[in-house]
Amino acid sequence: MLPVGRRTTISVIKCDVGSLAGHHVVPKIILNVAEKNMKGAKKRGLINSYYVFNVGDDIELLMVHEKGERNAEIHGLAWETFREAAEKAKKLKLYGAGQDLLKEAFTGTVSGLGPGVAEMEIEERESDPIIILAADKAATGIFNLPLFKIFADPMNTAGLVIDPTMIGGFKFEVIDLVEDKKVILKCPEEMYELVALIGSVHRYVISRVWRAEDNMICASISTTSLTKIAGKYVGKDDPVAIIRAQHGLPAVGEILTPFMHSYLTAGWMRGSHWGPVMPVSLRDAKCTVFDGPPRMIALGLQISDGKIAGDDEGEPMIVDLFDDPAFELARRECLDYTAMLRRMGEFEPSRLSAEYMEYSAITRVMDRIKSKFKPLLEK
Ligand code: F6R
Ligand code: MG
Ligand code: MG
């Protein structure tokens, strides 16, 4: 058994390398490539535990190890895995094969190459419950609202008023995706400033959260912008988040409460529409209607002695938290909003405003009619 306080790293690295039936789902044959490589890495002792899953057309690699964040070996493992999976997808002529592998050369990190990354090095507590959130057909800002509720809203998180270890509040790191800057704001003191920023979900995204009184890391979120890397729309970012729970942090139930209701995210069809979030089980993490509605899954696990706590066979014990009738209301609301938004077709605000639309095709459409425009006063 590792000593208490031993540092353990949780890495979730994800990538769309190609999918079955358009952008619908990663087939088992592709997930098997990831499973094989993760198994090999565990055998070599590079990682201690792993869990391979998919959310729609994205492969998600959950790896637990002791190499720290931004480690070249861990990122290299993910990169090689995605490349091999993309090769297989290409051979099978799956859709969008290799889609998120935007650069050729690996530079020691997958950041800036296409895959999304959320990582958190923690000092293990006596017991460390973790929740992984992951979304498909959604923009990075999808987590701003729930993270605010979880770590700053006393109407959501009772612990903010009842648990004396949380009364010092939480600090949020917010990234400005336009100017490539970051700022740290502390709640409750700077709550209004925080909301002023993160309400602009296209531009400002929460990337990290710490407990203020002791700077304990409690959330880490991927902030990759594929459009920025590629210089054009190639697919939605479909972000992931790692959140720590309990014992002086929001409880698992407080982390899940924001998902009792659906809310809107940018993404959905062609990355260019407001779409309602549907919290679903892994089984239902596949997009259909209008390439959506955007799905989100939540996995629960325990970090234990440098690993994911496992069963007698050493298999990681993972719970599928949205596989629960308690989220039926959100799913129902999501369908109501889906119907309402789709009735509006391509009229704003159903479609994103032009400055936020991801699809470069619209520019080409506009180019075709540009020469027909005449000044208003011309006869
Ligand atoms: C959204 C997404 C899909 C595609 C759409 C058109 O992230 O991936 O909604 O944008 O299916 O795809 P293409 O242009 O590949 O036919
Ligand atoms: Mg895709
Ligand atoms: Mg996707």
In the predicted structure, residue 58 carries a pLDDT above the cut 80: yes
Q: What is the pLDDT of residue 360?
A: 60
Instruction: Give pLDDT, residue 235.
Output: 80
| CA-wise closest residue to 288 among 59, 19, 28, 24 | 24
Would you state the structure tokens that stand for residue 287, as one six-digit string?
């997009």
pLDDT of the residue at 229: 85
Q: What is the pLDDT of residue 133?
A: 98
- Whether 87 maps to a domain, the answer reads yes
Residue 40 Cα to ligand 3 midpoint, Å, equals: 26
Do the domain assignments include residue 1? no
Region 351-373: mean pLDDT is: 80
Strand partners, 304: 307
Look up residue 301 and give its DSSP letter.
Answer: E
Place of tokens 């599928």: 320
pTM of the model: 0.97
**Does residue 265 sit within a domain?**
yes
Options 36, 176, 233, 263, the catalytic residue = 233
Residue 231, pLDDT > 90, answer no
Contact between residue 27 and residue 95 where contact means Cβ atoms under 8 Å apart: no
Of 163, 168, 118, 169, the closest CA to residue 148 belongs to 169
Q: What is the mean pLDDT of residues 15-20?
A: 97
pLDDT at residue 358 above 70? no
Distance of CA 163 to the CA centre of its chain: 28
155 part of a folded domain = yes
The answer to whether position 378 is within a domain reads no
Element (H or E) spanning 12, and its range? strand 7-15
- Burial (CB count within 10 angstroms: exposed 0-12, middle 13-18, buried 19+), residue 181: exposed
Is residue 104's pLDDT more than 90?
A: no
Task: Report the candidate in 321, 315, 274 with the shortest Cα–Cα distance to residue 294.
Answer: 274
Please state the rounded mean pLDDT for residues 65-78: 98
Q: What is the pLDDT of residues 148-207, one digit of tens each?
A: 999 999 999 999 999 999 989 999 999 999 999 999 999 999 999 999 999 999 999 999
Strands of 7-15's sheet, edge to edge?
49-55, 58-65, 7-15, 116-123
For range 49-56, the mean pLDDT: 98
C-beta separation of 206 from 174 below 8 A: yes
Q: Which residue is closest in CA terms to ligand 1's atom 8? A: 235
- Split at pLDDT 50, 70, 90, the class of 321 is very high
Q: Name the residue at shortest CA distance from atom 12 of ligand 1.
A: 270
Pocket probe for ligand 1: among 17, 19, 23, the residue whose CB has the most ligand atoms within 8 Å is: 23
Helices (H), 6-71: 28-43
pLDDT of residue 361: 66
Start-to-end C-alpha separation, the chain: 85
What range does the domain containing 353 cover? 7-372
What was the pLDDT predicted at 4?
57
- The Cα 122–Cα 68 span in angstroms is 9
Q: Select the more confidently predicted residue: 38 or 363.
A: 38
Is 103 marked active-site? no
Question: Distance between CA 20 and CA 57 in Å, rounded?
Answer: 8
pLDDT of residue 364: 77
Atom of ligand 1 nearest to the CA of 16: 8
For the chain, percent of residues with pLDDT exceeding 90 = 87
Mean residue pLDDT of the chain comes to: 95
User: Within a domain: residue 2?
Assistant: no
Report whether pLDDT(226) > 90.
Answer: no
Task: Look at ligand 1, atom 2, and give the residue with the nearest C-alpha.
Answer: 270
| Mean pLDDT score, 338-346 | 98
Nearest CA, atom 5, ligand 1: 270
**Residues composing the chain:** 379
Q: Residue 353 has what DSSP assignment? A: P
Split at pLDDT 50, 70, 90, the class of 230 is confident
Catalytic residue among 42, 137, 171, 236: 236
Nearest Cα residue to atom 6 of ligand 1: 270
Per-residue pLDDT of 80-90, as tens digits, reads 999 999 999 99
Buried b (16+ CB within 10 A) or exposed e, 258-281: bbeebebbbbbbbbbbbbbbbbbe
Which of the listed residues 100, 269, 360 should we mutate to test ligand 1's pocket, taking the one with most ligand atoms within 8 A of CB? 269
Write out residues with Cβ below 6 Å of ligand 1.
22-23, 137, 235-236, 269-271, 291
How many angstroms is it from 17 CA to the middle of ligand 1? 14
With tokens 């089984």, the residue in question is 283
- Ligand 3 centroid to residue 319 C-alpha, Å: 22
Active site residue 51: no
- Residue 57 burial (C-beta neighbours within 10 Å; 0-12, 13-18, 19+): buried
E strand or H helix at 160: helix 159-162
Between the CA of 170 and the centroid of ligand 1 the distance, in Å, is: 37
DSSP string, 266-285: EESGGG-EEEE-EE--GGG-
Q: Within a domain: residue 28? A: yes
What's the rounded Cα separation, in Å, for the pair 310 and 333?
36
Given 3-state DSSP classes, what are the helix, strand and coil percentages for the chain, each rounded to the nearest 5?
Answer: 30, 30, 40
Q: Which residue has the tokens 């498909």?
A: 136
User: Does any domain span residue 379?
Assistant: no
The pLDDT of residue 224 is 84
Q: What is the pLDDT of residues 283-310, one digit of tens each?
A: 999 999 999 999 999 999 999 999 999 9
Mean predicted confidence (pLDDT) in 339-354: 95
Atom of ligand 1 nearest to the CA of 23: 8
Q: Give the Å distance between the CA of 237 and the centre of ligand 1.
A: 12
The tally of domains found in the chain comes to 1
Return the ligand number nearest the Cα of 358: 1
Residue 79, helix vs strand vs coil: helix
Output the residue whose Cα is nearest ligand 1's atom 4: 270
* Phi, then psi, of 249 in degrees rounded to 5: -125, 165
Could you confirm whether 370 is annotated as catalytic? no
- Whether residue 255 is predicted with pLDDT greater than 60 in this model: the reply is yes
